[in-house]
Structure 1
Amino acid sequence: MAAQQSQGIQTLLEAEKEAAKVVQQARQYRVQRLKDARTEATKEIEEYKKLKEREYQEFESSRHGTTQSTQSAVDKETDGKLTEITAAYEKSKAAVVVKLLNRVVLVKPELHRNLKKLESP
């Protein structure tokens, strides 16, 4: 009977060792699969980045001409407005100087309105 028990225990120990090996292999397989998945994801990300960069470059090159023409149109409009503003300045500069000098030089001395109220009663 003792021999049977010891043989049963031995069988259980071997089964336990086999189960530990299977668990260890499963862990290693899982770790390897995670590494492979990361590598694959990194490759996909790089490919996607390259694709989007290429699309951006194509978009930019197709829009480059319109950007320059728009910029030149804006520059022309700005130059025209500056010319108008400069002409208006030159035209009314003398009149503004005269108005300012009249306000500064021609002063009518009179009492302050609060002082007038005090003297009224």
Structure 2
Amino acid sequence: MSAQNSAGIQTLLDAERDASKIVQKAREYRTKRVREARDEAKKEIEAYRAKKEEEYKKFEAEHTQGNKAAEEEANKEADAQIAKIREAGKKNQDKVINDLLEAVFNPRPEPIAA
């Protein structure tokens, strides 16, 4: 009976060793699959990020074109106004200088109204 018990124990030990190997392989497979899933998720996230970045750049390009056109129009209007002011300044420059010189050299003091 002792030999039979030894054989039974040996069979159980062999089965336990085989089970341990199966569990180890399952753990390795699960670890490998988790890594693959993580890598796949990173790739999907990066692709999604690139897609959204492209959409943003497209949106920005479409909407800044309108801003650029408005900015150019405003610059043209400002340049036209500056040109008008310069023209008026050149036109009345002599009169303004003479009026300033007259005011400096011939002061006419006036009392301040209370």
TM-score (norm: length of structure 1)? 0.66
Q: Distance in 2 between matches of 1:86 and 1:23?
A: 90
Q: Which residue identity lines up with residue 82 of structure 2 in the other structure? A: T
User: Separation in 2 of the partners of 1:88 and 1:23?
Assistant: 93
In the alignment, structure 1 residue 77 sits paired with structure 2 residue 81: yes
What's the CA shift string for 1:33-67, capped at 9, x where partnerless? 01100110111011101111111111122333222
User: Is structure 2 residue 28 aligned with structure 1 residue 24?
Assistant: yes
Question: Which structure 2 segments of 5+ residues have no match?
Answer: 106-114
Task: Give the alignment of 1:81-96 within 5 angstroms.
Answer: 81-82=85-86, 91-92=96-97, 95=101
Matched, 1:42 2:46: yes
CA distance in 2 between counterparts of 1:15 and 1:79 reads 93
CA–CA separation in structure 1 for the residues paired with 2:82 and 2:20: 86
| Distance in 2 between residues matched to 1:73 and 1:48, nearest whole Å | 37
Name the counterpart of 1:65.
Answer: 69
- Distance in 2, Cα, partners of 1:7 & 1:45: 56
Identity of aligned residues (%): 9
Q: Provide the rounded CA distance (Å) in 1 between the counterparts of 2:79 and 2:50.
A: 40
Q: TM-score, normalised by structure 2?
A: 0.70
Provide the secondary structure at the position in 2 that maps to 1:66: helix
5+ residue gaps, structure 1, are 100-121
For residue 74 of structure 1, what is the amino acid of its counterpart? Answer: A
Q: Provide the rounded CA distance (Å) in 2 between the counterparts of 1:28 and 1:46.
A: 27
> CA separation in 2, counterparts of 1:88 and 1:9?
113
Deviates more, 1:85-94 or 1:7-16: 85-94
Distance 2:15 2:69 in 1: 82
Aligned-residue CA RMSD (Å): 2.5
Distance 1:51 1:2 in 2: 72
**Shift in Å, 1:70:** 0.7
